[in-house]
Structure 1
Amino acid sequence: MKFTDVAVNKDERFSIGIEEDSGRFYLSIPVRNEYVDYEEYYEITKDEFESYKVDLNSAQTLVNRCRKREVDNRLIQ
């Protein structure tokens, strides 16, 4: 899988982009546990992607839900 960020919010620590092999859109957040740091990728719709691309801050509600593990059904990886 090749994840390509299109927009990054450095202050809130998340990004949106396109997974090149499948063409799916994603929102990613950094995750840390006691063993490793990694990124989690959550699938978003094309409409969500286009909306967040125009106003990246509008993704904050979804980012918060991802961090709370409320939308794990969207996990790509």
Structure 2
Amino acid sequence: MEEKKKRWERTYHGQGWKWEASYVDSDNRFSLNMELKTNTPCISFPVWNGMAQYEEFYWLEDEEYHLFLHDRDALWAFVRRCKKREMDDRLMYHPGSSRGWAN
């Protein structure tokens, strides 16, 4: 029997995804999102690599998503860890050699 993988260990292809922001923090520049096609939660925030700005997405488990909807302190603590690159195992897309930094 195949062991159940955590959401961020699975392989996904992003073509045709549609995101809906469940919560947006414009001061700290991040959002809590739900992908509508697969019901997959994540957080995202912009990063800058000196040439371009792009978005990094980090997978969440369903339990985390529901916690973060109601506990903004827990959400912000998770986002800070992502911005410090402590949660890179959760990255939806692994960036290339010129990875940017969040502000």
Structure 1 contact 9–56 (Cα < 8 Å) conserved: no
Give unpaired runs (5+ residues) of structure 1: none
What is the aligned counterpart of 1:21 among 15, 22, 37?
37
1:14-36 deviations in Å (ceiling 9; x for gaps): 11011122211001111111111
Higher alpha-carbon deviation: 52-61 or 18-27: 52-61
Higher alpha-carbon deviation: 53-62 or 32-41: 53-62
The ranges of structure 1 where at least 4 consecutive aligned residues each deviate by more than 6 angstroms after the TM superposition are none
Counterpart residue type for residue 12 of structure 1: N
State the Cα RMSD in Å: 1.3
More strand by share: 1
**Equivalent in the alignment of 1:60:** 76
Structure 1 contact 7–56 (Cα < 8 Å) conserved: no
Secondary structure of the 1:58 match is: helix
- Equivalent residue pairs, number: 77
Distance in 2 between residues matched to 1:64 and 1:9, nearest whole Å = 13
Q: Could you say which structure has the larger radius of gyration?
A: 2
Identity score, percent = 34
Secondary structure of the 2:75 match is: helix
**Equivalent in the alignment of 1:42:** 58
Q: How many Å apart are 1:55 and its aligned residue?
A: 2.4
Q: So what's the TM-score if we normalise by structure 2?
A: 0.68
**Equivalent in the alignment of 1:69:** 85
Distance in 1 between residues matched to 2:73 and 2:23, nearest whole Å = 11
Q: How many Å apart are 1:57 and its aligned residue?
A: 3.2
